[in-house]
Structure 1
Amino acid sequence: MANICPIKSPHKALILAEAYEHKEAYRPALNIYQSLVKNSEISLRVKINLGNVHFKLQNYPLAIKFYKMALDQVGQNKKNIYSKIMHNIGLAFIQQKQYSEAAFVFAYIIKESPDFRAYLHLILCWFALRKIAKIRRSFSDLFSLPKLDTKVEEIAKLIILISPLIEEVEEDGFNWCVDVIRITDYAWMADNLEIARIVELMRKGNLAEALKFLQKFEMNVKHLTENSRINLSFVYLHLKKLEQVENLLKGCTKPKAYNNYGVLKFLQKDYIAAEKAFHIANDSKEEIYEASYNLGLVQRKLGDRKQSQEIYDTILKQYPFPYNLMMFGLSNINDPGVLRNIAKLYKNLSNYKMAKWFFEEAFAVNPLY
């Protein structure tokens, strides 16, 4: 069939190919990219895009080939672009379980333009290779960065992963990591990481261990960010230490703080105050799923069953599974522990299709959970 409206401009062809790629129509995208790869004006962008498409198609050797072609063209003078392409090469090696090659790539990035992601993936490579000394060295070097573009939660997940490997006793591994951080410019993270460990243990149902670390933490607490105060209030809510919850939440203005405050008032049977707090959390720009559920719960307590049912109907339309988040302790829908708990609930209800879906989601979020 003749091409009725041929695309003469390579720039227009590139836009079309990127549109195909965005729509996940990878074959037509590849065809156009291949026709443009020798065009000197746009060849760098085309080679990077070819690498990206082959990566998405899991053709990792081809992805690496095109990324390397792009590297040859961009040169090391443009460090930012060079580093990003190198990072993609490292990820392609990881996907092929070529961890030594990936580690070489990430070590190079760190030498030239270090950042958190490069350190994270380097540590994960050393973890896969069981190189304990190199894990320790890279972890220590990570906190020499002038700026960490990450959240405490990500650091916590990394520590939880490596702790059982770097020491014979997991607790000793965790303590070693926290001690490293305490003597850096990121010392403020240490207390927040302790809280993250306690919350993780509680979500896994290991209450005895959580209490042990909580008692130790209470004796040594120093600096707390608002997020940490909110997380710690979550711990105290489950322990029914309501006075501590109220003190921790004073001055907190984030939606999750209002949700926890609403739970506090609910437990104190002050349903009017609880309703007000859940409304504030629910009306925020953030999606606080538990606030919606809890609002329905408190309105049922206040006798407004119609409004309560409308809230639950809305939740079920948006999320086709039960969100009793006070029960599960859910903080976000990417929590593998919560996803597994929901899967178990569906299994108990003999809804094996939904159970399978949630188990797979939990695995996708964190295969090691």
Structure 2
Amino acid sequence: MYGGDGGAQQDDLYTGYDNQENDFAPSIEDELQTQSMGSFSKPAPPSTARLGTGMNPGTAARGGDDGPRPLTSVRAAGYSSQVRGKLNPLQAVTGQVAFTSVLKKPEQTFEQQCRTDEREVHRALEESASLSAKGDNSMALERAKEAAKLERALSKKREEHSSGDQINLDLTFSVCLNLGQEYHNNKLYSDALNVYTSLAKNKQFSQSGTVRLKMGNTYFEQGKFPNAIKMYRMSLDQIPTTSKFMKFKILRNIGLSFIRMGQYQDAVQALDSVVENIPDPVAAFNLLVCMHALGDSERMQTAFLKLLGIKAKSEVEEVEEVEEGEEDGGSIEIALAEDGLKREFRKRRNELQRYILTSARLIAPKVVPGREIEGYDWVVSHLTSHGFMELASQMDMAKALEFLSQKDFKSAVSCLKGFEKKQEDLKASAATNLSFLYFLESDVKNAEKYGKMATEVDRYNALALVNSGNCSFVKEDYEEARRMYAEAVNVEADCLEALYNLALANKSLGNLQCAHDAFRKVNSMIPESTDVMFQIGDILYVMGRHEEAVKWFEALNTAVPNDPGVLNMLGSLHCTLGDEAKALHFYLESHRIYPASMNVISWIGAFYAKSEMYEKAVPYFELATNIKPLEVKWKLMVASCYRRIGAFPLALRKYKEIHKETPDNVECLRYLVHLCNELGSREEVLGYARKLKKLENEKGGGKGGQRQGSPQQDSIAAAHHLGQRGGMQPPMMQRPVSRGGGGDPYAAGGLERPRSSVSAGRSGRNTPSKLAQEEDDWGNDELGDDLLPM
């Protein structure tokens, strides 16, 4: 097709000029037609081919007046109507572009400029709302400020041109309300209230009820509940009666404010009115909470039934969709699978079920006063009758846990076994709880059985894997236990039980660094756990990092200042580091809290004996004698202390009591012989000497034979400087048993023992130095280290 329109359209596309508003459009079309026709003709001489003369260049070139060529003559040149929208390069050669570029767009009128500015305000306002919906409150506030700035500039411009009556008040109100809301979202409550107050005082705006509602929400979030209630009531009065739903929402906010203030009766009046008129699950739930706080079991039941009577609209919609899907082969169900409205319905249904389940768990122990189990049965029956079968099953599980809290394990097991034939998720939960119950009862076989059942149903059940790992731990299969715990951590990275027990398994296997790292991870998650702090300190102690262990045990002592085991460990650590003053302080504190610890008693008594403060050592050795009366070494230590302080008659009486109780004790006879010889009792010396010689002959005559009445060397563990250490802890998340570890200042002869206090200058009874050395029960090598404290 050929004509001037094609050329005009090409020019419009190039210059951007509106052809409909141009008065010169016909002449331009003529020029374009002339240019187009000439461009496909034989080139004319420059003197005849002129632009804008109205003469056909092809005619002038031929020198005749034959008129235009037929339309078919241009087909051989390759012209097509499909290139009408493109600029012909020959036009640029002829100069047409230069001619059309002179044309300019007419200036916009004032009203058109104002409308453009309004579009900019709308754009900024919409961007602010979009950012706020996405959670980017800071950027939303910036865009809201920009929208307010543009709107003020637009209003000022209209006022300067005496067109203030054309100001869009709805746009002004929307911009200011959005600005206040963004201030509120960014926790700038004072700025938000200033914006809302200016809107509320402006009589030009008729939406003051909405502004008062916003102010009430701001006061509510600030915790100023009386001010919030005042604003809510003002909003309730100003909102028109046609907005029934909004009025009840405001009334619900008033009830929530009264709940926060503790005025439950006033809250009940407001919420009851809401529940009676609209199906609001939030109001119904809070009404039930008020009844629970007031302890009114009858009204509690009524509020719960009202909550059950609220049917989510999603249920009806989904039923209709399923029916239609069955008729049409499921096509509608597939088409609506990702429908936004359906997602909203599902969200509301889940919210309603969450409120119902929370309410059921809250009121079940109280709905029937004094009979908790009957309360659970009442709740389950009504849930079943209202069609909430899944929630009823969950309440059955809660009923089993109630049996556990009452220590009724038999009923709990019976209740949990009823889930074996129900749906898979409940079956897995029941099996997990049964495994835990049997584990607590030390029935490892059944615990392992139900733990395996739970993992078979759901392999990604972290708690079931922990229970199976506990069974392996108890059977001392630490490698299998470690594997199960590691798998549980892979399934649920924040499972505290799995992490804690994994650290214990690594500790049992000797992987101290791995155990330390796992305990540090648990400590980062629950830094207040004293169990974890103890385990970290204990592992550092075993690894030989005593300075770090001291820091952890000091922090633990701050958390639990009256734990004798922690004080005992601090005493042992300071003793290892060579600070006996601090060690004595912590041992004395541990003894003050728990006086029956033999490790602490022995260390303190030995410390005073080493320091030659025998008077202070005597009470501790006597206490050890009372705690362990069958161990003769403590009685010998008491008698030795008396002898060293010069109380010879009292020491002799103690030795005689020991000999009477254990007549075959060689050490006691030796002390009796030496002491009687010192005191000049010749007859007693001869009698005890004969008994001593007889006992030595019976034992082979050796001085260093097995001593009767003394404890075994392996039970004392004198070679270890800090005493015996405790075993591994059980694999459950419980407080570790406080360890009782005391240091041995005389371990393996590491410290010098005091010398004899018997005076060598007693008249007429002086013996050779050899005899004095034999009398020294603290330094005599024949007595050995087993008579000294651990």
Normalization by structure 1: what TM-score? 0.70
Which runs of structure 2 are paired with 1:1-369 in the superposition (5 Å)? 8=152, 14=177, 17-38=180-201, 40=205, 43=208, 45-75=210-240, 81-147=246-312, 148-150=352-354, 154-160=358-364, 162-163=366-367, 166-199=368-401, 202=404, 204=405, 206=406, 208-218=407-417, 223-224=422-423, 226=425, 229-230=428-429, 233-240=432-439, 241-252=447-458, 257-268=461-472, 269=477, 270-283=480-493, 287-322=494-529, 349-350=560-561
Q: CA deviation at 1:77?
A: 5.4
Separation of aligned partners in 1, 2:467 and 2:292:
40
Separation of aligned partners in 2, 1:76 and 1:311:
63
Separation of aligned partners in 1, 2:530 and 2:240:
51
Q: Which residue type is aligned with residue 101 of structure 1?
A: D
Q: Which residue type is aligned with residue 236 of structure 1?
A: S
Would you say the 8 A contact 2:428–2:457 is kept in 1?
Answer: no
Render the CA deviation track for 1:112-171: whole Å, top value 9, x for unaligned.
3324332221122233344433222222333233343317752443234533xx334232
Would you say the 8 A contact 1:296–1:311 is kept in 2?
Answer: yes
Q: Which residue of 2 aligns with 1:330?
A: none
Q: Which residue type is aligned with residue 388 of structure 2?
A: Y
Distance 1:51 1:36, change over 3 A: same
Would you say the 8 A contact 1:290–1:324 is kept in 2?
Answer: no
Separation of aligned partners in 2, 1:183 and 1:197:
18
Separation of aligned partners in 1, 2:242 and 2:427:
42
Q: CA RMSD in A?
A: 3.8
- Larger mean CA deviation between 257-266 and 23-32 belongs to 23-32
* Fraction of identical pairs, as percent: 22
Query: How many aligned positions are there?
Result: 319
Q: CA deviation at 1:64?
A: 1.6
Q: Which residue type is aligned with residue 54 of structure 1?
A: Y
Distance 1:73 1:170, change over 3 A: same
Q: Which residue type is aligned with residue 515 of structure 2?
A: S
Separation of aligned partners in 2, 1:323 and 1:22:
39
Higher relative contact order (CA 8 A, sep 6+): 1
Separation of aligned partners in 2, 1:10 and 1:231:
58
Would you say the 8 A contact 1:115–1:145 is kept in 2?
Answer: yes
Distance 1:126 1:151, change over 3 A: closer
Q: CA deviation at 1:185?
A: 0.3
Distance 1:209 1:253, change over 3 A: same
- Determine helix, strand or coil for the equivalent of 1:54: helix
- Determine helix, strand or coil for the equivalent of 2:275: helix
Q: Which residue type is aligned with residue 179 of structure 1?
A: S
Separation of aligned partners in 2, 1:289 and 1:151:
28
Which of these two proteins has the greater Rg computed from alpha carbons?
2
Distance 1:245 1:317, change over 3 A: closer
Structure 1 runs of 4+ aligned residues shifted over 6 Å read 345-348
Separation of aligned partners in 1, 2:247 and 2:353:
19
- Determine helix, strand or coil for the equivalent of 2:298: helix
Would you say the 8 A contact 2:454–2:464 is kept in 1?
Answer: no
Distance 1:301 1:260, change over 3 A: farther
Separation of aligned partners in 2, 1:121 and 1:273:
46
Separation of aligned partners in 1, 2:292 and 2:436:
35
Q: CA deviation at 1:62?
A: 2.0
Separation of aligned partners in 2, 1:99 and 1:150:
23
Would you say the 8 A contact 1:156–1:197 is kept in 2?
Answer: no
Separation of aligned partners in 1, 2:421 and 2:557:
42
Distance 1:25 1:280, change over 3 A: same
Would you say the 8 A contact 1:110–1:118 is kept in 2?
Answer: yes
Distance 1:17 1:219, change over 3 A: closer
Would you say the 8 A contact 1:198–1:213 is kept in 2?
Answer: yes
Distance 1:168 1:94, change over 3 A: same
Unpaired segments ≥5 residues, structure 1:
326-344, 352-369
